[in-house]
Structure 1
Amino acid sequence: MSALSLKRPRVRQPRLTSKPQNLEPKNGKDPVEVTCRIKPPDNVDEDHCICAFDLHTVKLIPPATSFAFRNGCGKEQYYKFQHVFNPEATQKQVFDQVAKPLVADLLQGKNGLLFAYGVTGSGKTYTMEGTPDNSGIIQRTLDAIFNTIQDYQAQRCVFMPDHMNGFDIQTEAEAAQERKAFQAQSNVCKTPRTPRQRTVDTPVLDIPMRIPDGSKIDDLNEDNVYAVFVTHIEIYQNYIYDLLDEASGNGQSHRGFQAKVLREDSNHNMYVHGCIEVEVKTPEEALEVMVKGQKRRKVATTNLNLESSRSHSIFSIRVVQAPLDVHGEEVLQEKAALSISQLSLVDLAGSERNSRTRAKGGRVKEAGNINNSLMTLRSCIEVLRENQTGEGHRMVPYRDSKLTHYLKNYFGGEGRIKMIVCINPNAEDYDENQTVMKFAELISEVQIDRATPVAQTELWLPPGRRQANKFFKSIRKKLEEEGENVMNMEMDTSIIYRLAPAWPSLNYTQEDWEGFFDMLKTYMRKRIHCREKAQASLPDKIAHVRTRLLDLEKEIVYLQQENTSLTALYNNVLAKNNSLEDRLFNEEITIENLKKDLVKYNKLEEELKAVLEERDLAKNHEERQKQQMKDGLKRKLRDESEKLRREMMKSLEEREKNLKVKTYQAQVLALQEVLNIKEDVPAFSSLQQELGQPGSSNSKGTSFPSKENCPPEREDYYLRGPAVCDQRYRSSLVDQHDAWLNHCPKQMVPMGTALQPILNTQKVVTNVKKAHLEKNTITNYCLTTQDQDSQGEMETRVYKGDVLPTAGGGSQVVLKDVEVHKQREIQNVGINKSLPKETPRIPTESIQERCSTGIQFLARPGYHSP
């Protein structure tokens, strides 16, 4: 043994590639594998609606109580499957046929999905979970995994979840510290928890005695270390809950759980954020997690008096594997070398009508949500099928349901999908089974992209590192037992990859010489065979190395060219950066100058603002003084106006009083002239006394002037007759000393209206010229027009105004009055101009009546006395 070379050379760590290449091109597709399992009938003597026709076909027979039979569609139907399990099939057969290939893919770094589909009571939960004495798919899957990786597991806490659907690799020292903290917590509580993950050390729940499965997966990479993590979630009413979460939340909660959210990691894989992942080292630890979640899930089912759970259960197993270093001792501290694979085992809720669930009240909503999620799953399958057949290019509605959103990556080609259709052969389930069969037929036609494994050999690590390290450790231990000094001994693992098996023992005696010689010959033959095999494979290895060298040389040339171009680009960028820095420096100087100018402008602005404020204050003071002066003048003007108004009102009242007396006098005289009433008539005398006569006084003391005593300006009163009683016609009595310019048409219709103006030195013109107004003798202007009114009678309008001189030496006319004259016929008055001068005496008894008639007649405007 001492002759062996135990020197270990220094081996350089291989460089890992950032993105491993795939072994196979991603151009193939695999169909969804659908198998059917028929549940044993509850009563063998009753009629059954389904049976196994052969290993790949089932026959559906409509019973007389089904809707299809009553509608006239009672034909037998056949459906094809990947495999059909008859009622006599065992759990072991189902696992070996369906789940074991998925376990092999899981250990090789591939993802997988297996879900059970069917109506309530069809055996889905039994197929997935089984019983204590007859394990289901989940228990057998865990047994197969740990049977395979039992000798290749990493120590606890070497792989830690990073809470972003990934894992971190810890060194042995860090892992030991984590385990120490875990052990300290495990002494306090039965279910300890590490700071970043939850683990289970000893079983907490009482798991019944079970018969483990002895399945084992071949072709395992022995140079890797493995760790298993499990999660258990459920989807209830389109919300996701973690069955391992013991803390109750404040938000949307169910059975004391807080609703979780779905997120997408950096590789576009969906995961449940905040979900607890438990690292397990034995099948019992994993089953404890599963049983605990099952119990918490079944409590609500019992409380709600339901025959089955109204939620989807998903039990996920994630296997994390990483290669050992070149010496085969420690885990390679490269996160890029990690391989994470996941197997999701889904137990879907029963698909059936609400009438079969016997749900009432809030349970109807639960059944509706379950059916909606299953319908969304069916819609996604239909869209996938249409897109693959070229009939449509629609977007798959994964986000319409939490179930399909969580399983989106599997349907996108990130793993292998299998489905177990569980069927209850009872006749009463025919209609529901027919719907399940149609969905199974639909999903079997969907093609999923084939997942490609990652090439582990691209790490350029020699195979057999673990066994070589184990071999040399055993040699070192043996030498140490023999008393050899192995403290500074180095081991050379290179000889493991080129020599035959270890030398046999050289101790022999004379008696067993022949046997020893035969053993040496056998050993030498093996060595010669290994040498010949190595020599035969040498050309291939040399060719492979040459090909690799050529590829490396090409890569070097390409990298040199790329380096040259990048260097030139870097120089250009550097020059541009320098110019930009110079420009930046100049701009900074400009900014500093602008800042100084800005300070000056701000100071100047403040000074101008101060001056402006002073001017505004002075202006406001002046405006206040002006306003006060204006208010004072307004008050003074208001007082003077009020004083003048009172004086004018007083004068106006006196004038109206005098005018009223004169009007009454004129009426009396008019009545006397019209009616020829003598003064000795008693009634007229009393009226004359009341109103007054010219030269006499009335009862109020007012005297009326006689014709002889009348002043010259009122002489026209006795020449033309009495004035109209309306006060606005008093302006017709013009001043006789004014010179008027009468502007009237050529032809005027003669009208006998009263109050015709008598103009002094009147000049009548039909066309006014400038020379007429420039004469100093003209002081007044009169415009006369004639037209018919609305009743067809003639109307005369007289516009009067003053002629005033202007500043330029001319004249202007300012109109200030208008008079309207009309002539109406006299009615209801017995006046006859052809009567003789001696008129019969009017009876005394009709004097008052005639006087009242005459007063009414004279009060009408536009009347001219005859």
Structure 2
Amino acid sequence: PPQSKILREDQNHNMYVTGCTEVEVKSTEEAFEVFWRAGQKKRRIANTQLNRESSRSHSVFIIKLAQAPLDADGDNVLQEKEQITLSQLSLVDLAGSERTNRTKAEGNRLREAGNINQSLMTLRTCIEVLRENQLYGTNKMVPYRDSKLTHLFKNYFDGEGKVRMIVCVNPKAEDYEESLQVMRFAEMTQEVEVARPVDRPLCGLTPGRRLRNQAFREELARKLELRGGPVGAGPEEPSAAELFFQSFPPLPPCELLDINDDQTLPKLIEALEQRHKMRQMLAEEFAKNVLAFKTMLQEFDSSVASKENYIQGKLAEKEKTITGQKTELERLEKKIKTLEYKIEILEKTATIYEEDKRNLQQELESKSQKLQRQASDKRRLEARLQGMVAETSLKWEKECERRVAAKQLEMQNKLWVKDEKLKQLKAIVTEPRAERPERPSRERDREKPVPRSVSPSPAPVAPAAPLRPRRSRSAGERWVDHRPPSHVPTETLLQPRVPRAITVDSPSERALARCDRYLLTHQELASDGEIQTKLIK
């Protein structure tokens, strides 16, 4: 297995890995080849139950870009090692968090999963501490040293660089919990903002001078082309010095072959005088060109200054706009946090209401079932009462018919007796007096009035005690006084009085079982519009 590397800190407080080999490249093709050969092929992957190419460790590929300082014109490289600038791009492939109960990892795989989860947990802790320091203004120590992953990139989190995160999630329903945790972690990282430190100057020269010099040369070439034709038409064109010397007239031969030669020197003097005149003309033309060039430079400087002023004004406007946007962004972030807090409260309230709704629905269902049972009991009791009323009515109808028949028979017998007596009286009245038999003397004596003797008045006697009234057979019985809910109390003088009665509006089986008699109070509308009350026993 590969040996563990040690992290060190250089003089600029940047972290690096001790013992790693840096490969120097000079083109993007070489960099891509190194990335493929030394980066992708050295990644540790293995087959698990969830992924055929599961990363078994975090992979880090660092690209460093070195820039040497340039001179004042921005064209030549200065040989000063302390002025070299280094930029770094780190490509990090974080292995995903795993659950051992799903991957069924054992042995080395289990140990690798533990290391991955531990480093990811440390990264999450560092992000949470940074977020807490940012929100509440605290100065908690961030535990970068708990993991080599966070210790290596602590400069990025401290503001020396920028961090960009790409989250990979699986849309399968089986990975919902893992995807949810990853999305929450990504959302939390978006809320972290660290203060960027002040950039260190690279050197004492103005940055961007090479581009400005290049722009100046292009502008100068354009001006010269407008004034005197194209500059630098081709590689065969002579230089400016050659053109300058070619513009002078050629010198005559200066060789003196004869001491009496009086033509060579005058010709030479004449040629030199012409050259002197031409030199003066060229000097004047050069002075004019210098003045024109100086004027052009001044115009260029003024245009550059005006452009710089315009750019500075635009930058100031943009800075104001950015400041306003930052203020608005902070306000919106505070508003978002307030709304999130309100949403959380509303969600909790909705959860409570849902729970109350479920409880009320259950209570409503129980009440509905109870009402259904009561309705069925009421229907059963009404059916029973109707049966009892019908049975009682039929019984009383038969009793009334029997009594009526008995009364009719009794009256018929009385009529027969009266008719017989009337017949006998009629026979006696219509019979002749002579035919009447003479009664014996004893009977005649009996019919004579007997004188009444005077007797003494009776002595006063105490009145006899009244006879004790016979106790009714129904005196010890209990009654059920059934008065329907629609019963209307009347203010009549004669009101029924039932002792030891249980008054109910809907009789139950328990009440009927406890009593011996039943009384139904029935009201109906009479023909004259009055309420007629009937008592059915």
Which of the pair is proportionally richer in strand?
1
Which category describes the TM-score, using the shorter chain as reference length?
A: 0.3 to 0.5
Q: Please, what TM-score do these two structures have when normalized by structure 2?
A: 0.40
Which of the pair is proportionally richer in helix?
2
Q: Please, what TM-score do these two structures have when normalized by structure 1?
A: 0.26
